[in-house]
């Protein structure tokens, strides 16, 4: 069954709604040098992460420029996993892996040249549509067939992200058959605020499809 990560939670009510809806992972964004309504400060990131219950994965989404910066952040916030958006080379992702106990999800674009190198050092790849500054949350889809090729060719789990919504997630899961899917803006009522009904429909549509009931 395809797992679901809901990203960019900014308060505890949204975090709890995401968990209640049946998501497998909750993404908290901190330490990104881009303008986004989904970023929270360190204390909030720590509090939101700490409140994610057992059997649901808390994911720190961050854009560090050095391994040391990433380690410091992860040590303070203590997520279950870390998603590194831009900033670190494949070798630096490998160096980070040696310094932390958490799994690392490396973010790549579907046509990035270094995909295999990242796959060699990360625990999973998240294939996203990123903006000119390297950030996510664009609400833009990309070539799902290309991501499907990566699912077939790579040994690491592949997560599909970028422009997913409750309406298109079933088709995305059927086309790509990813390990997991990820959404931020597609389940919001306003920037940084989750629409709880949309979150519920997103999780249901993703999981129903991967159970073969649609
Ligand atoms: O969502 C953001 O604002 C963001 C900013 C900077 C770095 C990463 C960011 N999001 C990371 C995610 O994992 C998003 O869920 C992913 O990019 C998909 O976003 P969307 O297209 O809005 O569903």
Q: Let me know if 86 is a catalytic residue.
A: no
- Please give the number of the atom of ligand 1 that sits closest to the Cα of 39: 3
> What are the φ/ψ torsions at residue 19 (nearest 5 degrees)?
-65, -45
What is the C-alpha to C-alpha distance for residues 33 and 171, in angstroms, rounded to an integer?
A: 33
- Please give the number of the atom of ligand 1 that sits closest to the Cα of 141: 21
What is the C-alpha to C-alpha distance for residues 150 and 154, in angstroms, rounded to an integer?
A: 6
C-beta of 87 in contact with ligand 1 (< 6 A): no
pTM of the model: 0.96
| Range of the structural domain that residue 101 is part of | 3-210
Which listed residue (7, 24, 86, 182) is catalytic?
Answer: 7
Give pLDDT tens digits along the chain (214 positions).
899 999 999 999 999 999 999 999 999 999 999 999 999 999 999 999 999 999 999 999 999 999 999 999 999 999 999 999 988 999 999 999 999 999 999 999 988 889 999 999 999 999 999 888 888 899 989 999 999 999 999 999 999 999 999 999 999 999 999 999 999 999 999 999 999 999 999 999 999 875 544 4
At residue 7's C-alpha, the angle toward residues 189 and 136, to 5°, is: 95
Residue nearest to atom 6 of ligand 1 (CA): 135
Taken in order 141, 142, 146, 152, the sign of the CA dihedral is negative
CB 74 within 8 A of CB 93: no
Instruction: For a ligand 1 pocket test, name from 35, 184, 194 the mutation site with the most ligand atoms within 8 angstroms of its C-beta.
Output: 184
Which listed residue (24, 86, 97, 128) is catalytic?
Answer: 128
* pLDDT in the model for residue 210: 56
Q: How far is the CA of 165 from the centre of ligand 1 (A)?
A: 13
Q: How far apart are the first and last CA of the chain?
A: 13
Q: What is the count of structural domains for the chain?
A: 1
Q: Let me know if 7 is a catalytic residue.
A: yes
What is the C-alpha to C-alpha distance for residues 40 and 57, in angstroms, rounded to an integer?
A: 18
CATH number, domain containing residue 58? 3.20.20.70
* pLDDT in the model for residue 214: 44
Nearest Cα neighbor of 26 from 62, 53, 63, 64 is 53
Helices assigned H by DSSP within 51-187 = 67-77, 90-99, 115-121, 144-153, 169-176
* pLDDT in the model for residue 134: 81
- Please give the number of the atom of ligand 1 that sits closest to the Cα of 6: 15
């Amino acid at each position: 069954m395809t797992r679901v990560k809901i990203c960019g939670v900014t308060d505890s009510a949204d975090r709890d709604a995401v968990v209640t809806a049946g998501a497998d992972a909750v993404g908290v964004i901190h330490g990104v040098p881009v303008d986004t309504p989904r970023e929270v400060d360190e204390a909030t990131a720590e509090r939101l992460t700490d409140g994610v219950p057992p059997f649901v994965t808390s994911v720190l989404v961050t854009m560090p420029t050095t391994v040391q910066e990433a380690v410091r952040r992860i040590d303070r916030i203590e997520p279950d996993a870390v998603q590194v958006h831009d900033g670190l080379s494949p070798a630096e992702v490998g160096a980070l892996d040696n310094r932390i106990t958490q799994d690392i999800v490396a973010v790549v674009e579907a046509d990035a040249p270094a995909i295999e190198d990242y796959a060699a050092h990360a625990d999973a790849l998240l294939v996203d549509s990123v903006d000119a500054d390297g950030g996510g949350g664009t609400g833009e889809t990309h070539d799902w067939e290309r991501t499907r090729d990566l699912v077939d060719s790579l040994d690491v789990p592949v997560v599909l992200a970028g422009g997913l919504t409750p309406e298109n997630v079933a088709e995305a899961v059927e086309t790509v058959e990813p390990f997991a899917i990820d959404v931020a803006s597609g389940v919001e009522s306003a920037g940084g605020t989750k629409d709880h009904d949309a979150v519920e429909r997103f999780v249901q549509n993703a999981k129903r499809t991967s159970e073969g009931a649609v």
